[in-house]
Chains A and B, each alone.
Chain A
Amino acid sequence: MIRLIAKKDFLLNLLSVRFIIGFVLCLVIIPFTVTVSVDDYLARVRIYEIEQKKADDGMKKARVWSAVRPVIVTRPEPLSIFSAGITNNAGNSVKIAFDACPLFPSGHISTRDNPLLNAFFSIDFSKVIAILISLIALVFAYDSITREREDGTMKLSLTGQVSRISFLSGKLAGLLLTLLPILLFCYLLACLIIVVNPGIALSAADWGGIALLFFSSAIYMLVFILLGMFISGIVKSSSSSIIVSLLCWIWFLFLTPNISTYLSQSIVKTPLYDNVQSVMHDYDKAFEEDYFAVWRRIRNEMGIKNLNFYNNRDGEDGLREITGGTRTAPLFLLRLYPEIIPLTLSNADKKWALQRNYLGELEKQQRLQQRIALLSPSELFRQITEAICSTGAGNFLKYMEQIRYYREGVIRYFTDNKLFASSLYFTPQPLEEYPAEEEIASLANEEERQARIAKNSWMYPCLDTSNVPVYRQQQPFSLPGALDGAFTRLAALFGLVVLLLAAMIASFMKYDVR
């Protein structure tokens, strides 16, 4: 009997106008959004490749260790096509330096070149699914019970060999039978667009992720089907049911996300980053004073009157590359850096302590927002898709954590190999090649003197940086990892299904069929 009712509802749904409208809506919107997302992804991959090449070149071209700055370029995940998450809120590259810990990536924020264009770039597949599928589910489910009552078919059906519970199960099965194909169709369409695109290669794990996404979407859809049926079972007429359903829809999809953001921002106040920066600036000032104090002390101890760098390249982040001139300068720097580097590192740590506090506040705010947003199944769904596609805030924070850990590794590599104490830290020119002051003074011929001191970087080979630790993402995308991140939320969504199912059955058992 359940099969019979399910089949009947399936046929009736197929024949209804809303089915055609829903289908056409998917047919138009899904290809459009996926195409936009795919373009966006391909553009990000292109930028990634360019930046990665730049980063590699930078490492290969370094002639002194102080110029070695590993740059980590974030490789875009193919799954971000499905759920962009916050990938477009942050940059894509992190430079590892000794004078600061990386807080957020810098570099390309998004692929939008024209800031004057305000299109819905942030709409991605999962958001469209969240909006479209919930709406379609409600539009199909809102009158599933009221309509049967209004048309008198419920009474007639219940005079047949069917109990209330199987009547309800049949209706639910009929709705699933109608809507699951629509959902599947959306996914197939999206996958088709991705597969025919030669620029995108999906791994087996990615396919697993997509399957998981589909599974979550199906549960999400079930939530809204049950919600619609539940509403249909507690109100008397279809017209009030559609109103209540749409109000719920608006509440869940548009109000809760905004309310949760607003509430979290007003409950947890984060300090302005400008304030953090100004304190950091003070630290840098103090560091500079210490730096010059050391500088002067060593100069005095060495009895250097005139400190001249023949060729000098320096940067704010601690870069120094000298060549040529006499031996005084390298000898001075050879004493300076082992003393300065610990200061630099501890200054970076001090600044990081400030930033970490700040980050902690941001995290607190973000966690609160996520928690408040759990009031809405669509927010829950969004968090699940972000966890599956590893594009959410949690993944991002973990990623930055790994990068900071990697920075420690780089520092360890430098200390272990005594690179800070080596002349190669600041000059590619071998120390023996530098002439002593007296030697230069003894040379009468200006030409000869020039030949001894005029040296240039390009005359020396680049460093072999192949042994510098390379950043490896500790957890590349994997299905168990994604499942792990999404599990509790998926379980919560499932719990909601059970709850709604129970509520729906309970209310329908008492439903007045007249």
Chain B
Amino acid sequence: MLQTIELTKRYEDGLLALDALSLEIRPGEIFFLLGANGAGKTTTINLLLNFIEPTSGKALINGIDVMEQPLETKKHVAFVSENVMLYGNFTARQNLDFFARLGGKTHLAKSDYYNVMRRVGLQEEAFERKLKTFSKGMRQKVGLAIAIIKDASNIVMDEPTTGLDPKSAAELMQILLRLRDAGKAILMCTHDLFRAKTVADRVGIMKEGRLVMLRTREEFLQDDLERIYLNYMQEAVL
């Protein structure tokens, strides 16, 4: 379970990037966080993962404060970032192996790595190839594999579909659904309204550091999500 309580972040330059955000993503739920560029999505993730310190408020993972017990909370969360280069001189499997061990998974066999890579749709011939020869989408898939192999109860993703071809993106959604069914709480920051519509259990829209809308699947299916989104965005213009 991922939780933010009145989470606020004001950067050193005075910009209020996140304004008392309170969110809760429960096990077995896919939460899509939408919002324009600069709305504060990445900031939220950085706070959840303790990369930066909040100005006030709290971020909790499985009920544990990330500031107080960072190592403990990181056992329960996996992370997919938007554009990860990984170690270019390592092969896909070596990268996977390193980060799996770092995540506490020390007893994995080669076949485990291969299975995960197959699952994210990476072509077999690339498994033992150096990552510097990979395309952006292929690297993204390895990043996904790293998150999946950690087998944490929460998954945080920052625009994971950038660079993925349509087929892979669709496959990713299938993976997400399966992970959700396995009881994981998934936070997904994205601009992809279409995917939100198809797989999200709940959708939140952020604007200037605030959560301006929160709908469950039933609610946004009745209405057109696109229209809702644009409505909220337009209010800013008005």
Residue positions of A touching B, CB distance < 8 A:
1, 4-5, 8, 11-12, 15-16, 150-153, 155-163, 512-514
Contact for B90 among A1, A12, A513, CB less than 8 A: A12
Residue positions of B touching A, CB distance < 8 A:
46, 49-52, 70-71, 74-75, 77-79, 81, 83-90, 98-99, 101-104, 143, 146
Contact for A514 among B52, B79, B85, B103, CB less than 8 A: B52
Neighbouring B residues of A1 by C-beta, 8 Å: 102
Given contacts A159-B49, A162-B102, A512-B52, contact A151 B85 (CB under 8 A): yes
Main secondary structure of the interface of B (DSSP, over half): loop
Given contacts A12-B89, A16-B89, contact A159 B78 (CB under 8 A): yes
Residue of B at shortest CB range from A7? B98
Neighbouring A residues of B143 by C-beta, 8 Å: 156
Given contacts A16-B89, A160-B104, contact A155 B49 (CB under 8 A): yes
B81 touches A152 (CB 8 A): yes
Q: Can you sample 6 A-B contacts with CB below 8 Å?
A: A156-B86, A158-B49, A158-B74, A159-B49, A514-B51, A514-B52
Given contacts A12-B89, A157-B102, A514-B51, contact A152 B84 (CB under 8 A): yes
CA distance A12 to B85 in the complex (A): 14
Residue of A at shortest CB range from B82? A152
What is the distance, in angstroms, from A5's C-beta to the closest C-beta of chain B? 8
CA distance A16 to B101 in the complex (A): 23
Given contacts A153-B85, A155-B79, A156-B84, contact A514 B102 (CB under 8 A): no
Given contacts A157-B102, A514-B46, contact A152 B83 (CB under 8 A): yes
B86 touches A153 (CB 8 A): yes
Neighbouring B residues of A153 by C-beta, 8 Å: 84-87
Interface contacts beyond A155-B51, A155-B84: sample of 6 additional A-B pairs, CB < 8 Å, sorted by A? A159-B74, A160-B99, A160-B103, A160-B104, A161-B104, A162-B102
B75 touches A161 (CB 8 A): yes
Contact for A157 among B50, B85, B99, CB less than 8 A: B99
CA distance A25 to B88 in the complex (A): 25
Total A-B residue contacts, Cβ distance less than 8 Å: 73
CA distance A156 to B101 in the complex (A): 12
Neighbouring B residues of A159 by C-beta, 8 Å: 49, 74, 77-79, 103
Residue of B at shortest CB range from A161? B104
What is the distance, in angstroms, from A417's C-beta to the closest C-beta of chain B? 79
Neighbouring A residues of B75 by C-beta, 8 Å: 161
B85 touches A152 (CB 8 A): yes
CA distance A162 to B146 in the complex (A): 16
B51 touches A513 (CB 8 A): yes
Given contacts A156-B79, A514-B52, contact A4 B102 (CB under 8 A): yes
CA distance A151 to B143 in the complex (A): 12
Residue of A at shortest CB range from B75? A161
B146 touches A156 (CB 8 A): yes
Residue of B at shortest CB range from A152? B84
B85 touches A150 (CB 8 A): yes
Neighbouring B residues of A15 by C-beta, 8 Å: 89
Neighbouring A residues of B83 by C-beta, 8 Å: 152
CA distance A4 to B97 in the complex (A): 11
Residue of A at shortest CB range from B72? A161
CA distance A355 to B71 in the complex (A): 70
What is the distance, in angstroms, from A147's C-beta to the closest C-beta of chain B? 9
Neighbouring B residues of A514 by C-beta, 8 Å: 46, 51-52
B46 touches A4 (CB 8 A): no
CA distance A16 to B88 in the complex (A): 10
A163 touches B71 (CB 8 A): yes
CA distance A1 to B50 in the complex (A): 19
Contact for A160 among B51, B52, B74, B87, CB less than 8 A: B74
CA distance A153 to B94 in the complex (A): 13
A151 touches B87 (CB 8 A): yes
Neighbouring B residues of A12 by C-beta, 8 Å: 87, 89-90
Residue of A at shortest CB range from B51? A513
Counting from the closest, the 8 A-B pairs by CB-CB distance are A160-B102, A151-B85, A152-B84, A15-B89, A159-B79, A160-B103, A161-B104, A513-B51
Neighbouring A residues of B46 by C-beta, 8 Å: 514
CA distance A157 to B150 in the complex (A): 12
Neighbouring A residues of B79 by C-beta, 8 Å: 155-156, 159
What is the distance, in angstroms, from A152's C-beta to the closest C-beta of chain B? 4
B74 touches A161 (CB 8 A): yes
What is the distance, in angstroms, from B107's C-beta to the closest C-beta of chain A? 14
Neighbouring A residues of B77 by C-beta, 8 Å: 159
B102 touches A161 (CB 8 A): yes
What is the distance, in angstroms, from B94's C-beta to the closest C-beta of chain A? 8
Neighbouring A residues of B70 by C-beta, 8 Å: 163
Neighbouring B residues of A155 by C-beta, 8 Å: 49, 51, 79, 81, 84
Residue from the set B49, B75, B85, B98 with the largest chain A CB neighbour count within 10 Å = B98
CA distance A104 to B143 in the complex (A): 70
Residue of B at shortest CB range from A150? B85
Neighbouring B residues of A163 by C-beta, 8 Å: 70-71
Residue of A at shortest CB range from B84? A152
CA distance A157 to B83 in the complex (A): 15
Residue from the set A153, A156, A514 with the largest chain B CB neighbour count within 10 Å = A156
CA distance A163 to B50 in the complex (A): 11
Neighbouring A residues of B52 by C-beta, 8 Å: 512, 514
What is the distance, in angstroms, from A225's C-beta to the closest C-beta of chain B? 20
What is the distance, in angstroms, from A20's C-beta to the closest C-beta of chain B? 12
Neighbouring B residues of A160 by C-beta, 8 Å: 74, 99, 102-104
A161 touches B103 (CB 8 A): yes
Neighbouring A residues of B90 by C-beta, 8 Å: 8, 11-12
Neighbouring A residues of B98 by C-beta, 8 Å: 4, 8
